[in-house]
């Protein structure tokens, strides 16, 4: 079993649920993907980081960031795994708004330089609202977003809208792939 196949297995076992759910966008869904469960497990977050780093190997990005909460554990693992691989990749995260205390920064981590090429990641994309906020914050400080990566694309239009806006978008898995793998498990 490859590490990506193992990650898929963990997602199906620990994060993929069927039932009635309300998404962040307010839309209803007959399934839910709670990747925070996977991102907060040692094996799951390591597999996510390794798979995303494999994708980032084709990128010009010198830093990778994402929205607070959902991307933070993944970014921590990416920082460690990039260091272990000898990759000069820094990480950052983007708040929805500036802090009202301390430095008041919206983008946390090493200072991004104007024109610096970066990638933005998130765990799941539905309509893309969360990641668009992170992209806007990243671009607001002058960095250039060259790649957007997701662990799972729910295929609800968010990833396509980002592509249409000119971003290079990659997802490790689509919901179609998750559902097909779940159906195959049921047949076994």
How far is 40 from 100, CA to CA, in rounded Å?
A: 28
| CA angle, 153 then 158 then 163, to 5° | 95
Please give the pLDDT value at position 98.
66
Tell me which DSSP letter residue 171 carries.
E
> pTM, whole model, 2 decimals?
0.93
- Smallest CA-to-CA distance from 24 within 140, 150, 135, 156 is with 156
| β pairing state of 63-67 and 90-94 | parallel
What's the pLDDT at 23?
83
E strand intervals along the chain: 16-22, 28-33, 63-67, 90-94, 107-108, 117-125, 144-153, 168-174
What's 117's DSSP letter? E
Q: Are 110 and 133 in contact (CB under 8 A)?
A: no
Q: Please give the torsion angle defined by the CA atoms of residues 15, 20, 22 and 27, in that order, rounded to the nearest 10 degrees.
A: 110
- At residue 188 the predicted structure's pLDDT band, cuts being 50, 70 and 90, is confident
3-10 and 175-187 helices, crossing angle to 10°? 80
- Can you list the domains of the chain with their CATH numbers? 3-183 (3.40.50.2020)
Write out pLDDT tens, residues 95-148.
Answer: 877 666 666 578 899 999 999 999 999 999 999 988 999 999 999 999 999 999
Confirm if 45 and 52 have CB atoms less than 8 A apart. Answer: no
pLDDT-derived band of residue 160, with 50, 70 and 90 as boundaries?
very high
pLDDT digits (tens, 9 = 90+) for 7-63: 999 999 999 999 999 987 788 999 999 999 999 999 999 999 999 999 999 999 999
Which range has highest mean pLDDT (106-110, 165-169, 181-185)?
Answer: 165-169
Q: Look at residue 104 in the predicted model and tell me its pLDDT.
A: 59
Going by pLDDT thresholds of 50, 70 and 90, the confidence category of residue 2 is: confident
Closest residue by Cα to residue 119 from 168, 162, 68? 168
90 close to 62: Cβ distance less than 8 angstroms: yes
Q: Phi and psi of 96, rounded to 5°?
A: -65, -35
């Amino acid at each position: 079993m490859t590490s990506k196949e193992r990650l898929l297995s963990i997602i199906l076992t620990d994060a993929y649920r069927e039932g009635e759910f309300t998404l962040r966008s307010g839309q209803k869904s007959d399934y839910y993907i709670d990747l925070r469960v996977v991102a907060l497990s040692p094996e799951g977050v390591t597999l996510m980081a390794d798979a995303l780093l494999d994708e980032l190997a084709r990128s010009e990005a010198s830093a990778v960031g994402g929205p607070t909460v959902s991307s933070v554990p993944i970014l921590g693992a990416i920082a460690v795994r990039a260091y272990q691989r000898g990759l000069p990749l820094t990480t950052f995260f983007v708040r929805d708004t500036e802090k009202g205390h301390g430095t008041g920064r919206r983008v946390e981590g090493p200072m991004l330089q104007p024109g610096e090429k970066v990638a933005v990641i998130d765990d799941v994309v539905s309509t893309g609202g969360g990641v668009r906020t992170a992209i806007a914050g990243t671009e607001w400080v002058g960095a250039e977003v060259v790649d957007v990566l997701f662990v799972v694309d729910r295929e609800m239009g968010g990833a396509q809208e980002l592509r249409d806006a000119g971003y290079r978008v990659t997802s490790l898995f689509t919901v179609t792939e998750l559902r097909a793998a779940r159906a195959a498990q049921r047949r076994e």
